[in-house]
Amino acid sequence: MALKRAGADFLVICINTMHKVAAAVKERTGLPFIDIVDVIGNSIVENGLSKVGLLGSRFVMEEPFYRGRSWVANLTSSSVVDGICRCVFLV
């Protein structure tokens, strides 16, 4: 509520790991939420992309931040490349 009283109009979480607590943050602040993962998904759908590479930490790539989204179902399959980080190719 303090963010709203301070004049914030909406909330954006720009770091993937914070999506783990996004629902709780959204609920506690009472602010509209712009979800960067949905923005990415909308762009993929709007541009008719069918093969997408997402690069992120192992934690982010193993959590449902991306894989749990409805737009991912429109892609045909996925493969994973391990290294310092994890790269998931959604094709």
Q: Which residue has the higher pLDDT, 46 or 91?
A: 46
> What is the reported pLDDT for 63?
78
What whole-number distance in Å separates Cα of residue 81 and Cα of residue 46?
26
Q: Which residue has the higher pLDDT, 85 or 51?
A: 51
What six digits make up the tokens of 91?
């094709």
Q: Any idea which residue has 């980080």 for tokens?
A: 85
The number of distinct structural domains making up the chain is 1
> What is the reported pLDDT for 35?
84
Is 18 within 8 Å of 47 (Cβ atoms)? no
Q: Is residue 76 scored above 60 in pLDDT?
A: no
Q: Which domain holds residue 28?
A: 2-90
Q: Which residue has the higher pLDDT, 10 or 82?
A: 10
> What is the reported pLDDT for 72?
73
What whole-number distance in Å separates Cα of residue 22 and Cα of residue 28?
10
pLDDT tens digit sequence for 17-73? 888 888 888 888 889 988 888 888 888 889 988 777 777 777 777 777 777 777 777
Position 82, amino acid: D
